[in-house]
Structure 1
Amino acid sequence: MALEFLKRIFNPNKVEIELNEIQALILRSRPIPYFGTVAIIEIKDAVAARQMLQKLLPIVSSAEDWHKNEGASVTLTFTYKGLEKIGVPKESLETFPESFKEGMADRSRFLYDIGVNDPKNWERVFKRSHIHIAAAIIANNEEAWKSKLEEFRSKLADNRGIEVILSHNFSVSEEVKNVFGFRDGISNPEIEGSGIEVPPGFDRPLKAGEFILGYPGEAGTIKPFPQPEVLGKNGSFMVFRKYQSQVAEFNQFVKENSSSPEEGELLAAKMVGRWRSGAPLVLAPEKDDEKLGDDLQKNNDFSFKDDEYGKKCPFSSHIRRMNPRDSKSFVLEDERLHRIIRRSVTFGDIVPPDITKNDGKERGQYFIGISANAMGTLEFLQKQWANDGNAQNLGTEKDPVIGVQDKDALFSAPADPFIKRYRGLQTYNIVKGGEYCFIPSISALKWISELP
């Protein structure tokens, strides 16, 4: 845990945004380890929902002490239908982006949610139009999580105007690995003005307006945000997607395309772009380096400029597609404009590499991505970088980890003397549901709770 704090140094003299108004999830790192609960709430009565919100307000966490990253935090977000249901005036609702108004399921054509990811195949709770509030309780220890969860539930007790339609607990140990056994959540952009002091070797922070509404972005201008100002400023947008991971199928593909466990580990690393420890292939191209993977100062301090031909880290690997850094072969404008803060959480047990039969258990990830333009960013990443090979001159190749694979899907890994090509990939992370959410500021939550 100490290494995480070495990376994120707080300097109060560099604070230029209203930390006490911003919800903690936007700035606070996901703890190591973490324990938490995701809850989805349906509003049945607006007055009762506003009363609930008034009770919850004292326990909603601001980002004022984001750098301490201790105890438990509570986050509240609203879907467009949720804002509508709780009584936000029509003139304010009209100031929200059209993609947010439509919702994730109706934007499937922009997300490349087709085939197994088509919304018609989603879990029943996500097919309904009754997802109004998405809440999260996340803590760095089990005791704090249980205590805060009990306090959260007590605020909802005996309120017949709301219904919790989904509640899912999750936890991850100090290793912070996903169900595939890979270290997770290594690379995230930082926000200028938050007080962050970035060590040498890390990307410079992005302008606050790229992630928080009401501030200048990278272009130097303040983008339009929901009105009145008390509702929109210091808020943000969040994308929320539930994935079911097909780990046994992933393991089977690796086994079928390798002649030894060592060769299999290299192929798996080539698909992800990192070894299971978190060590990037660019810095450890031949074998895993656990010391490097554990070093949070060094495991993200790299670029692709010295791997011009992709022989260390393939162009189609997951991390190279999702954050191309300075890949010369990419057809793109500024990759910094497509960054998203990830606060994703894993649920279910890790499946060892030798397990190749699906046991049918629920395991995967709740993808949580935050940006002032979260809807547009996710739609770009999904449709262009994850599922379109043209940006990397790779034809029909998809992201091997999150792509929606076609029949006879291909993954290629440049090598000497020839490119290695592997066929028969499946969709290894299947979308089971999701929604677009608005993260109101602390003052906006109070404003909503006091609507007439």
Structure 2
Amino acid sequence: MALEFLKRLFNPNKVSIELDEIQALVLRSRPIPYFGTVALLQIKDADEAKKTLKDLIPLINSAKDWHKNDGASVFLTFTYNGLEQIGVPQDSLDSFPDSFKEGMAKRALFMNDIGVNDPKHWEKDFKNQNIHIAAAVISNNEEDWKSKLEEFKSQLQKGAGLSLLISHDFGATEEVKNVFGYRDGISNPEVEGSGIEVPEGFDRPIKAGEFILGYPGEGDIIKPYPQPEILGKNGSFMIFRKYQSQVADFNKYLLENSSSIEEAELLGAKMVGRWKSGAPLVLTPEKDDKELGDNPEKNNDFSFKGDEYGKKCPFSSHIRRMNPRDSKTFVLEDERLHRIIRRSVTFGDIVPLNVTKDDGKERGQYFMGISANAMGTLEFLLKQWANDGNSQNLGQEKDPLIGVQDKEGLFTMPADPLVKRYHGLSTFNIVKGGEYCFIPSISALKWICEL
């Protein structure tokens, strides 16, 4: 298990950001295995909510010991409506980005949330304008998770200021696979100034300001952030989206478009860009390599430079679209400006490839992505990279995993002697709801309590 964290070595001499002010969620890796609960809360009474929040703050972990990643941690975020409801002054509210103020549902067209992903189809709870706080408890062991969750719930129940709208458990085993059966969460950017010591062969850390407010970004400029400074600095923004995964449909598509189980596994890997073990196609294009997939020092140490025709990993595969690395794209962009820290978690069981009939159970993922410009980053990634093929000269071809498919539903797989084209893909991950959230610093949480 220690192998999973070899690349996340901590060097205190490389710390240049205020770790004890930043919520642990921003820098701490998702544990392996993980157990947790997500909770969406409504503020019923602002004064009582502040009292409860004050009692909750001691449970919220800072990033001071992000590298240890032991035991349970709690994080807490606000929607714009939540900040408004708890009494943040109007001049401070006005200093937040317009996209955050509007909220995710109203920004649907900017994310290509159309068709089955249209907010009119979202779950009833996510149509509620009273989602004010998104919080979660997560741990690397079941005992600590349950203990911390009980502590969290008991603080909530003490007062009448906050009410629970949604509570949903999630988790994954040591293999950390999503409900499609693929190893998940392998590639994440590292943050400069966090104390990270990155081994040779891995991407250099990205400037702190791309993820944490109040610090210089890749252009060495500190971008505007919410005011006053105590509210905005050391905070960040989070994307929170619930996906229902249509795994049986995915399995059925693979089997119907293949002549054997092995061919179906290959087609699935081509769509993802990795085998189920996590081994990248670029390094092992012909068959899965579990040893490679299990090795965190090697399973993400690759680029697309040697695969300029996409014959190993198709241009339209999920991982190549969402992180082009060294791909030569037709629309030039600096992918370092579009990275996002993913803290996504899985709920529901894994569905084997031979199951092709939906059993109606809830299974999927809570996508949690962190960036100082989370709203703009998500909208770019979904609108441009996931749902528009122009950057890879693929026309209107969509991301096969998270794209909103049209009637054509096309996936192109470069191969010898001829290119293979697969038609009729459906939307395999359907959005059921979401919110844009602000992650306050520890001091900002205290400031809010004293308003």
Same fold per superposition (TM over 0.5): yes
SS of aligned partner of 2:301: coil
Give distance in 2, aligned partners of 1:303 and 1:270.
Answer: 16
The aligned amino acid for 2:258 is S
Give distance in 2, aligned partners of 1:272 and 1:246.
Answer: 15
Give distance in 1, aligned partners of 2:158 and 2:295.
Answer: 48
Task: Please say if 1:149 is aligned against 2:149.
Answer: yes
CA contact (8 A) 2:240 2:369 kept: yes
Paired residue for 1:438? Answer: 438
Q: CA deviation at 1:330?
A: 4.0
SS of aligned partner of 1:315: coil
The aligned amino acid for 2:185 is G
The aligned amino acid for 1:90 is Q
Paired residue for 1:420? Answer: 420
Q: What's the C-alpha RMSD, in Å, of the aligned pairs?
A: 0.6
The aligned amino acid for 1:225 is Y
Give distance in 2, aligned partners of 1:446 and 1:329.
Answer: 46
Paired residue for 1:219? Answer: 219
SS of aligned partner of 1:304: coil
CA contact (8 A) 1:55 1:155 kept: yes
- 1:60-89 per-residue CA deviation (whole Å, 9 max, x = no partner) reads 100000000000110000000000000000
CA contact (8 A) 2:49 2:160 kept: no
Paired residue for 2:242? Answer: 242
Paired residue for 1:168? Answer: 168
Give distance in 2, aligned partners of 1:329 and 1:5.
Answer: 32
After the TM superposition, which residues 347-426 of structure 1 pair with which residues of structure 2 at under 5 Å, given as runs? 347-426=347-426
Deviates more, 1:326-335 or 1:5-14: 326-335
Paired residue for 2:42? Answer: 42
Give distance in 1, aligned partners of 2:371 and 2:215.
Answer: 13
SS of aligned partner of 2:399: coil
CA contact (8 A) 1:324 1:330 kept: no
SS of aligned partner of 2:107: helix
The aligned amino acid for 1:341 is I
After the TM superposition, which residues 59-208 of structure 1 pair with which residues of structure 2 at under 5 Å, given as runs? 59-208=59-208
Give distance in 2, aligned partners of 1:202 and 1:73.
Answer: 27
The aligned amino acid for 2:383 is K
Q: CA deviation at 1:439?
A: 0.1
SS of aligned partner of 1:157: helix
Q: CA deviation at 1:44?
A: 1.1
Give distance in 2, aligned partners of 1:98 and 1:278.
Answer: 38
Give distance in 1, aligned partners of 2:67 and 2:163.
Answer: 34
Q: How many residues align?
A: 451
CA contact (8 A) 2:209 2:215 kept: yes
Give distance in 1, aligned partners of 2:225 and 2:349.
Answer: 40
CA contact (8 A) 2:25 2:75 kept: yes
The aligned amino acid for 2:206 is L
The aligned amino acid for 1:191 is V
CA contact (8 A) 1:314 1:412 kept: yes
Paired residue for 1:230? Answer: 230
Percent identity among equivalent residues? 77
Structure 1 runs (4+) deviating above 6 angstroms are none
TM-score (norm 1): 0.99
Task: Please say if 1:334 is aligned against 2:317.
Answer: no
Give distance in 2, aligned partners of 1:239 and 1:374.
Answer: 6
Give distance in 2, aligned partners of 1:189 and 1:209.
Answer: 13
Q: CA deviation at 1:7?
A: 1.2
Q: CA deviation at 1:161?
A: 2.2
CA contact (8 A) 2:330 2:390 kept: no
Give distance in 1, aligned partners of 2:5 and 2:279.
Answer: 19
Q: CA deviation at 1:332?
A: 2.5
SS of aligned partner of 2:63: coil
- 1:333-362 per-residue CA deviation (whole Å, 9 max, x = no partner) reads 201100000000000000000100000000
CA contact (8 A) 2:52 2:158 kept: no
CA contact (8 A) 1:214 1:233 kept: yes
Q: CA deviation at 1:104?
A: 0.1
Paired residue for 1:53? Answer: 53
Paired residue for 1:270? Answer: 270
Give distance in 2, aligned partners of 1:349 and 1:5.
Answer: 25
Give distance in 2, aligned partners of 1:236 and 1:26.
Answer: 8
TM-score (norm 2): 0.99
Paired residue for 2:319? Answer: 319
SS of aligned partner of 1:309: coil
Give distance in 2, aligned partners of 1:162 and 1:39.
Answer: 11
Give distance in 2, aligned partners of 1:298 and 1:444.
Answer: 39
Q: CA deviation at 1:4?
A: 1.8
The aligned amino acid for 2:168 is H
After the TM superposition, which residues 247-262 of structure 1 pair with which residues of structure 2 at under 5 Å, given as runs? 247-262=247-262
SS of aligned partner of 1:155: helix
CA contact (8 A) 1:279 1:288 kept: yes
CA contact (8 A) 1:401 1:428 kept: yes
Give distance in 1, aligned partners of 2:165 and 2:98.
Answer: 26
CA contact (8 A) 1:240 1:366 kept: yes
SS of aligned partner of 1:425: coil
Gapped regions of structure 1 (runs ≥ 5)? none
The aligned amino acid for 1:406 is D
CA contact (8 A) 1:182 1:276 kept: yes
